[in-house]
């Protein structure tokens, strides 16, 4: 609870709420990549007397595992070094980089409303664009599919899941910060009936 209060208060005094991706998962994936790299080097360089098919293991674990391990290590080291804000709410607008299909930046003048969606297991900060067609045209194919899926089930096209990024800052904290910056954009909390 102390970490939650500290994070939110820092954001409040700096005029922005910023939630960064955790580096712990990426560090664990670097370790996994190092283990795979070690296994691939051993499969390439050492004899495999007890293997039923040593050539198959050498090819699959060694020659295919080596570039995979290097890729996993490089990608996750880059994610640790170039960590950026997964979710940022500031005077310009809302930025969501919490996942591969996240919508990115949307400015306040392009936002119609922001509300909290409460589901059984999590809360989401939902954003409805002013001109949905113009906003939709600027998305990638994958982002369009996600936005369409959200709208098909009756949700806003932009659903930001704080829990995926941080346990210390919640969607309710995000809504409270939006209320401070743009109170007219906030609408009622929604909780679907099951």
Q: Supply the DSSP string of 89-113, one letter for each residue.
A: E-SSEEEE-SSTT--EEEEGGGEEE
Last residue of a domain, one of 36, 51, 81: 81
Residues 91 and 138 in one domain: yes
For position 1, what pLDDT does the model report? 37
CB 177 within 8 A of CB 89: yes
In a domain, 190, yes or no: no
Q: How many domains does one find in the chain?
A: 2
Residues 117 and 130 in one domain: yes
Sheet with 104-107: strands ordered across: 17-20, 85-89, 93-96, 104-107
In a domain, 176, yes or no: yes
In a domain, 192, yes or no: no
Residues 161 and 142 in one domain: yes
Residues 144 and 50 in one domain: no
Last residue of a domain, one of 65, 81, 97: 81
Residues 119 and 160 in one domain: yes
Residues 12 and 95 in one domain: yes
Residues 45 and 122 in one domain: no
In a 13 Å sphere around the CA of 44, the CA atoms on its Cβ side amount to: 12
For position 97, what pLDDT does the model report? 87
104 lies in which domain range? Answer: 2-21+85-185
In a domain, 70, yes or no: yes
The two three-digit tokens of residue 7, written as one number: 């994070």
Residues 176 and 93 in one domain: yes
In a domain, 62, yes or no: yes
Distances (CA, A) of 104 to 21, 38, 137: 15, 37, 14
In a domain, 65, yes or no: yes
CB 130 within 8 A of CB 111: yes
For position 115, what pLDDT does the model report? 94
pTM metric for this prediction: 0.69
Give CA–CA dist 29/8, Å, rounded. Answer: 29
For position 194, what pLDDT does the model report? 57
Residues 16 and 31 in one domain: no
User: What average pLDDT values come out for the chain (194 residues) when binned by 10 residues?
Assistant: 39 69 86 96 90 88 94 90 83 88 91 92 91 88 91 90 85 91 90 72
Residues 94 and 179 in one domain: yes
In a domain, 94, yes or no: yes
Distances (CA, A) of 13 to 17, 91, 93, 117, 124: 9, 13, 17, 26, 24
In a domain, 193, yes or no: no
Residues 158 and 107 in one domain: yes
Residues 30 and 113 in one domain: no
């Amino acid at each position: 609870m102390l970490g939650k209060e500290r994070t939110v208060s820092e954001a409040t005094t700096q005029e922005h709420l910023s939630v960064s991706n955790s580096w712990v998962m990426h560090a664990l994936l670097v370790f996994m990549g190092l283990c795979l790299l070690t296994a691939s080097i051993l499969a390439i360089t050492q004899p495999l007397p007890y293997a039923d098919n040593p050539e198959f293991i050498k090819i699959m674990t060694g020659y295919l595992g080596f570039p995979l391990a290097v890729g996993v290590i490089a990608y996750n080291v880059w994610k640790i070094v170039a960590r950026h804000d997964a979710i940022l709410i500031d005077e310009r607008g809302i930025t969501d980089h919490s996942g591969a299909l996240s919508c990115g930046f949307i400015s306040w003048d392009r936002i119609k409303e922001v509300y909290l969606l409460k589901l059984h297991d999590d809360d989401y900060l939902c954003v409805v664009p002013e001109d949905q067609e113009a906003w939709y045209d600027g998305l990638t194919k994958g982002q369009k599919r996600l936005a369409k899926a959200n709208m098909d089930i009756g949700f806003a096209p932009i659903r930001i899941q704080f829990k995926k990024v941080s346990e210390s800052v919640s969607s309710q904290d995000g809504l409270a910060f939006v209320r401070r910056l743009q109170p007219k954009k906030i609408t009622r909390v929604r909780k679907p009936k099951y």
